[in-house]
A and B are shown apart, each in its own frame.
Chain A
C-alpha cells in the first residue's frame, strides 16, 4: 500500500532525492561503503564523527526532535541506498541488512534501525508516502550524532533507577512517557503533572493544571506524549474535549489546541507513530476522529455504529491502519484513508473491550483486554482473524502493554478489585510471569519506560501514587506456585499432576513450535531472571487395583462369607479362604485361629472343606442378573404354594368374574415348578434356601409390589433351616404360610437353633472359654480398626460361644454399623441375612419394621384397601401381568417409564424379542 505514495509523488521525489543525494555524496566518500552511504556508528564499535558534518547543513524545516532516533547497539552503520532503503551493518556479522524505512519517528519509525533478530528474521517492508520518506531521510541525517549517543547509552545499562514511587495529589487516570524515557506525565481528574525520572526519585517538573478557572478540559481520561515531539502532549477530557498541549509555550498555560467535536467522554487519544501532526481519538459517543494538529478541526470521522469506543491504537508497522475496541466486544480495523467503513471487524470479547495494543515487532499481532477478564492475542496478518493466545486473568483488564523486546510478554492491570500489575508470558497463560503488588488501589495506567527497555515499568494508580517498577523486583508467582498436584478421587483413584520432566517415560517432550520459529533474539546470553520456560504438565490418574480396592474387599467379603448353616470349622475355613483370596491375610489367619480354638482339630475333612467352598463359589456371585434368576426361581415356588389356598381367597372375592381364569393361570404357572425343582436339585444345599429367603426380603421392602399375603413366608422358612430334607419342606412351607396369611405380626423369632448343629463338633481340650477374653479383645480390636465386618461376622459364626462376653450395647452398635455399611453398598441380601442372624432383639426387629406395603390399584389409582388381588372399587384385578394378563402374585416387575409390567419371567421373555412395552403402550421399556 505504501507504493501509493511513491506513485503519487514520484516527480517531487526525484527532485528532492537528487538534491539530497548530492548532499550525501559530499560526505559519504569518507566511508567508502557506497556512493551514498552515511554511517551511524554505535558507541561501542567504531565511533565515526562524520555526522557532525551534517549538522552543519541547514535544514530549517526540520524540527529539533529529529535527533533522538534510537538504534540498538547491534547496528554499527546504516546506509541509505538509491532506492531509499536503509541498509545497516550489523555488529559482529559484517553483513549488510536491509531495513524498512518506516518513518522518521521513534516509535515504529525507530524500528528502522533495529535489527530484528540480529538479521535472522525477515522484515516487513513498509514504504511510506513520499513526503514522509523524505523527512525520514532528513531526520536520519540529523540524528546520526545523537543516535550514537543514545546507542551508547542503550547498549550499556542505559536507563538506571530503582523501584521507587512518589505521591501524587490526586488519583491518576493515565500516564505516558516521553520518548527519551526521562519524563513521565500523569493525568487524572484533578491532576496533570510532569515528573522527571531521576536515579532515585521522581521530581515534579511541571504542573499543567493551571489557570484561573479549572474547567473540565483538565479532567483527563487519557494522556499521551508524542513519540516524535517532546513538547507535544494530548489529553482526552471526560467532557468530550480533546486537548493538545505544547510544552514549548512560554506562557504558564501550555494548552495548545482544543477540539470539542465529541459529544461524550473521550476515552482514548493516540498519536500517529510517524506523523507529527496526526492525532486520533475515540469517544463514548461511538465516533473516532482523526485530527491534524495544523487544522482547527478533525480531518475525518469514523463511526463505530453508535457503540462506545474504548481504545484506539495506531498500528506501529502499518502506516494507515489503526485498531479500535468497542464496548460491545468488537474490535475494528480501519484504514485511515477510508472513513466510510472499517476494513475488518471481529468480536473479541464478551462485554466491553477496554484496551488493545499492537505488538511492537510483529505486524499482525494485536492484544486485547476486556471486561470478561481475558487478554487475547489476535493474529491479523492473514485475512482470517485468528486468536493465537488467550490469557485468563482474575479481573477485568483495563490496560495491556506489550513488553519491549520480549516477543511473548505483556503487562496488564485491571479495572476493578485487583490492584496488581501482571506481566504475562502469553505462552503460559495460567500463571503470571511477574507481578507488581505495590499499589493500594486499582492501577489505572501502565507503560514501559522505554520502548526498547523491558526492565522498567511505570504505573499510576487511583491510590495517588506513581511507581517505577524494576522488573527484577517483581514477585514471581511461579516460585510460590505448587508445581505438583495430588488428589484422591471418590473411589480411591489418585490423580497426580506434575511437570512433564518428572515422568521420565514420556521422553519426547513436546516443545512449543512457536518458540523455534520466533526466538527472542535480543538475548545474547539468556538472562537467568528472564527465563520463564513453558512448563507442560501431565496429569496421571492411578486407579486402584481391583484386589486392593478398599471398597471391593468389603463387598466381596460380605457376599462370600458364609455365616451359618455349616459346622463352625467349615465356616471358619471357608471364611479364611475368602479372606485369603482377597489378600487379607490377617483376617484369614484370624479365622483359622478361631477354628482351631473352637473346634476339634480333626473334625473337618478336606473333602468337606472343598465341597463347601465349591458350593459357595457358585452362590455368592450376586450380580444383578444372577440375583434375578435366583429370585425368579423363587417366585413360582411361592405361587404354587399359594395356589392351594387360592380357593379360599376366591371365596372372599367371589364376585370377581375373572376368578376362574385366574385360577387356571395359577395352575399353568404352577407347571414351572418341576423346572424349579430341577434347579433346586442341582444347587442342592440348604444355602439355596437362604438365598430364596434373602432375595425375597429386600424385594418386598424396596422394589416390588407384592400382595400382603406373601409377607410372612420367610419367617416360616426360618423355622426349618437346618432340616436336611429341605426339598420336601419347601413344598410344604408355603402351604403353611398361606394359612397364616392373615397373621399380621409375628413375634420376633428367638435365636435360632442353627448353632447347635456345630456344637457337637466342639470338642475342646482346653475349655473353650479359655480363649474368650482373647477373642473378645480381638473383636474389639477389629471393630476399632474400622473392620466392623470382621467383628460382626465372627460374632455371628461363634454365636453363643462368645456372645455373652460382649455386652449387648456394643454388639448392637456393631450390628447397626455393619448393617448400615451393607446397605450403603446396596448389599440388601447380606444385610438382611445379618439382621436375621443377629441375636440382639433390637437388631432382629429391623426386619419386622415397616413391612407393610401400600399399593394402589393400577386401574383406578386408588389405594387397595382390602387384602387381595382385586380392587374393591373398580372391580378390576390389580397388578396384572402385561404379557399373560393374569394377576401377578409374587415378584412383579415393571417399567418405571410406563408403569406396565408383569411376571418377571414373562417380561424377561418378552424383552428378548421386543424392546417395546408388552402392554402396547408404545413405550420403549427400560429395565436395569
Chain B
C-alpha cells in the first residue's frame, strides 16, 4: 500500500501539470462553467452516510432491517473484510442483493479459468474506465491481498501483455459495445504466448461487464467511498448546485421542461394515468412502419437528452488514468453513427435466454445460471408500489426503463412499442438514465434529484438496479454475440 500511495502522489503531480491546460469543467446539470481548483478538494458530500444522494436517516428508516439482509451483508463482510456501502444501499432490495452477491462472489472468488489477481485487475481496469475510485481502490486492495504483483498497479504498461491485449475490448465494451466484432475475439484468441482461451475470455468479459455496470450503480446512487479510505469521493464533480440544492431544485426542474414537472404531485398522477391508459387501450394499431420509426425516434431522442457539454470531454485527471488507455474514447451515440450504419441489434435474433445463456454457461460453467437468476430477479422485482400508491403493476414502467437502456446501446425489441417510452419516461428521467448508463462518472445529485420527486429513494435505487443490469446484459449480449460469430 505504501508503494501505491507514493505512486498516486507522483501521478497526481504529473496529472496536475496536464490539468493546467484544461482547468474548466462544466457542471452537467446546472450548465455552469466551473473553474476547477486543483488544490482545493472537491467539496465533501452533504451527507456522511453510504451515499451522497440519500440522507442517511432515510436509508435507515427505509430499510426495515430484516434479518436476512443483515445476514447477507455480514456474510459479504466476512468474505471481503470490509463493509461496503454499495452493499448497504443494495440492501434496500434484499432479494436482489442476494443474487448480486452470489454472482459477484462466484466470479471473483470461486473456481474459474482466471487467476485471482487477473480477476481483480480486470475489475480495476473496468472501473477505471469510468474513473470510479471507489471500486478501483477496493480492488487494488483485494488485488494485493490475493498476492498480485505490486508493479502492475503502476499502470497498464506494467502488466503482462495478455492483460494489455484485453484492454481494447474493455474500452469498447465500456463505451460502445456495438463495435465489438469477431475480429477482436480472434485477435485475443489467436495462438501465441499471450493468447486467451475461450473460457478465460468469457470469464473476463463477464467481469468487465459486471464492473462497468457496477460503476453505473455506484455513481448513480452516489455511493460514498469507505470512510477509512482516502481519495476523492465517488462523486467527484460536485458543483455549486450541490451546495444549495434546495434552491436549485426549481431551476433544475424548470430546465428540463418535461411535461408536468411544474407540479410534482401531478407528475406522479400523470404517470399513473398514462400507465393505466397504455394498459387499457388495446393498441389502436400503430402501423408497423410507425413502430419502426418510433424506435428510431427514441434512439435519436436519446441524443438530445444529453447536452453537448460531454462531447469534447475532459481527459480524466485522476491517478486512475494509469489503468486507462485511450481515455478520450467514450460513449458515442448509437443513433448518430452517420455513414457506417451498423445494423440494429435485434433482440429476437440473439437474446440472453436462448443464446447468451447457453454460450456463457458452456464456456464458464454455472455463471449462466447465476446471471440468469440475477436478470430474472431484477426484471421481476416489484413491490407493487409507486411512491404513495400501492397495488400498482409497474411492469410497463420497468420494461420501458430496461428497453430504453438497451435502445441506447442499439438493441431493439421487435415486440416493443417504443412510443411507450416516450409516454412513461419523463425527460429528466431520460437524462438520468442516459447519464448513468453512458457517462456514469457525470452523475450528480442534481440529476438524481431532478426526476420523480415523489418517489422514495428505494424506488430510485430500484431504477438504478434496472439500469445496471440492463447495461450489463447489453454488454454481454454484444460480447457473446461476437464470440458466437467467431465460433461459427
Which positions in A face B, CB cutoff 8 Å?
A: 189, 213, 215-217, 219, 221, 237-240, 260, 262-265, 284, 308, 327, 351-352, 354, 371, 395-396, 398, 415-417, 419, 440-442, 462-463
Other-chain contact of B288, A217, A265, A416, A463 (Cβ < 8 Å): A217
* Residues of A with C-beta under 8 A to B357: 351, 371, 396
A265 to B292, CA, bound (A): 15
Contact B355 A265 (CB under 8 A): no
Contact B354 A239 (CB under 8 A): no
Contact B355 A351 (CB under 8 A): no
A178 to B355, CA, bound (A): 30
> In the complex, how many angstroms separate the beta carbon of A412 from the nearest chain B beta carbon?
14
A159 to B291, CA, bound (A): 45
Contact B354 A416 (CB under 8 A): yes
Contact A213 B288 (CB under 8 A): yes
Contact A238 B358 (CB under 8 A): no
A416 to B288, CA, bound (A): 30
Contact A239 B283 (CB under 8 A): no
* Residues of A with C-beta under 8 A to B336: none
The residues in B between 292 and 307 inclusive whose CB is less than 8 angstroms from any CB of A are 292
Which residue of chain A has its CB nearest to the CB of B362?
A417
Interchain Cβ contacts within 8 Å, total number: 75
A–B Cβ pairs within 8 angstroms, 21 of them? A213-B288, A216-B291, A216-B414, A237-B414, A238-B348, A238-B415, A239-B291, A262-B415, A265-B414, A308-B353, A352-B353, A371-B357, A396-B358, A415-B354, A416-B354, A416-B355, A416-B358, A417-B362, A417-B487, A462-B488, A463-B488
> In the complex, how many angstroms separate the beta carbon of A4 from the nearest chain B beta carbon?
33
* Residues of A with C-beta under 8 A to B228: none
* Residues of A with C-beta under 8 A to B414: 216, 219, 237-240, 265
Contact A221 B354 (CB under 8 A): no
A396 to B484, CA, bound (A): 14
* Residues of A with C-beta under 8 A to B487: 417
* Residue from B283, B292, B353 having most chain A Cβ neighbours under 10 A: B353
Q: Does B339 contact A (CB under 8 A)?
A: no
A148 to B434, CA, bound (A): 69
The residues in B between 392 and 448 inclusive whose CB is less than 8 angstroms from any CB of A are 413-415
Contact A239 B358 (CB under 8 A): no
Given A263-B415, A265-B415, A415-B358: A239 touches B288 (CB 8 Å cut-off): yes
A606 to B157, CA, bound (A): 81
Which residue of chain B has its CB nearest to the CB of A263?
B415
Q: Does B58 contact A (CB under 8 A)?
A: no
Which residue of chain A has its CB nearest to the CB of B359?
A416
* Residue from B288, B355, B362 having most chain A Cβ neighbours under 10 A: B288
Contact with A along B61-91 (1 / 0, CB 8 A): 0000000000000000000000000000000
The residues in B between 280 and 331 inclusive whose CB is less than 8 angstroms from any CB of A are 283, 285, 287-289, 291-292
* Residue from B285, B291, B349 having most chain A Cβ neighbours under 10 A: B349
Q: Beyond the given A240-B414, A396-B354, A416-B355, could you list 9 further A-B residue pairs with CB under 8 A, ordered by the A residue number?
A: A239-B291, A239-B414, A239-B415, A265-B415, A395-B362, A415-B354, A416-B362, A462-B488, A463-B488
A416 to B487, CA, bound (A): 10
Contact A354 B354 (CB under 8 A): yes
Other-chain contact of B285, A260, A308, A352 (Cβ < 8 Å): A260
Contact A215 B358 (CB under 8 A): no
Contact A417 B415 (CB under 8 A): no
Q: Does B332 contact A (CB under 8 A)?
A: no
Contact B484 A260 (CB under 8 A): no
* Residues of B with C-beta under 8 A to A221: 348
The residues in B between 13 and 42 inclusive whose CB is less than 8 angstroms from any CB of A are none
Other-chain contact of B415, A284, A398, A462 (Cβ < 8 Å): A284
Other-chain contact of B348, A265, A398, A415 (Cβ < 8 Å): A265
A237 to B288, CA, bound (A): 12
Which residue of chain B has its CB nearest to the CB of A354?
B354
* Residues of B with C-beta under 8 A to A215: 287-289, 292
A217 to B414, CA, bound (A): 10
> In the complex, how many angstroms separate the beta carbon of B403 from the nearest chain A beta carbon?
12
Q: Does B274 contact A (CB under 8 A)?
A: no
* Residue from B355, B372, B488 having most chain A Cβ neighbours under 10 A: B488
* Residues of A with C-beta under 8 A to B354: 352, 354, 371, 396, 398, 415-416
Other-chain contact of A189, B292, B349, B355, B413 (Cβ < 8 Å): B349
> In the complex, how many angstroms separate the beta carbon of A746 from the nearest chain B beta carbon?
42
A215 to B415, CA, bound (A): 12
Contact A442 B415 (CB under 8 A): no
Which residue of chain B has its CB nearest to the CB of A395?
B358
* Residues of A with C-beta under 8 A to B162: none
Given A215-B289, A239-B288: A327 touches B353 (CB 8 Å cut-off): yes
A462 to B359, CA, bound (A): 16
> In the complex, how many angstroms separate the beta carbon of A325 from the nearest chain B beta carbon?
13
> In the complex, how many angstroms separate the beta carbon of B160 from the nearest chain A beta carbon?
30
* Residues of B with C-beta under 8 A to A419: 488
> In the complex, how many angstroms separate the beta carbon of B424 from the nearest chain A beta carbon?
15
Which residue of chain B has its CB nearest to the CB of A237?
B414
> In the complex, how many angstroms separate the beta carbon of B405 from the nearest chain A beta carbon?
18
* Residues of A with C-beta under 8 A to B109: none
Given A351-B372, A352-B354: A264 touches B484 (CB 8 Å cut-off): no
* Residues of B with C-beta under 8 A to A219: 348, 414
* Residues of A with C-beta under 8 A to B349: 189
* Residues of B with C-beta under 8 A to A415: 354-355, 358
Contact with A along B460-488 (1 / 0, CB 8 A): 00000000000000000000000010011
A417 to B346, CA, bound (A): 19
Given A215-B288, A354-B354: A441 touches B415 (CB 8 Å cut-off): no
A271 to B475, CA, bound (A): 39
A441 to B481, CA, bound (A): 13
Contact A416 B415 (CB under 8 A): no
Which residue of chain A has its CB nearest to the CB of B487?
A417
Which residue of chain A has its CB nearest to the CB of B363?
A417
* Residue from B287, B415, B487 having most chain A Cβ neighbours under 10 A: B415
Contact B362 A216 (CB under 8 A): no
A395 to B359, CA, bound (A): 9
Which residue of chain B has its CB nearest to the CB of A373?
B358
Which residue of chain B has its CB nearest to the CB of A396?
B358
* Residues of B with C-beta under 8 A to A442: 488
* Residue from A189, A215, A264, A416 having most chain B Cβ neighbours under 10 A: A416
Which residue of chain B has its CB nearest to the CB of A266?
B415
* Residues of A with C-beta under 8 A to B488: 419, 440-442, 462-463
* Residues of B with C-beta under 8 A to A239: 288, 291, 414-415
The residues in B between 248 and 292 inclusive whose CB is less than 8 angstroms from any CB of A are 283, 285, 287-289, 291-292
Other-chain contact of A371, B346, B358, B413, B415 (Cβ < 8 Å): B358
Contact with A along B340-376 (1 / 0, CB 8 A): 0000001011000111011100100000000010000
* Residues of B with C-beta under 8 A to A217: 288
A215 to B346, CA, bound (A): 15
> In the complex, how many angstroms separate the beta carbon of B163 from the nearest chain A beta carbon?
27
* Residues of B with C-beta under 8 A to A189: 346, 348-349
* Residues of B with C-beta under 8 A to A284: 415
> In the complex, how many angstroms separate the beta carbon of B184 from the nearest chain A beta carbon?
19
* Residues of B with C-beta under 8 A to A238: 346, 348, 414-415
Which residue of chain B has its CB nearest to the CB of A218?
B288
* Residues of B with C-beta under 8 A to A327: 353
A674 to B21, CA, bound (A): 97
* Residues of A with C-beta under 8 A to B359: 416-417
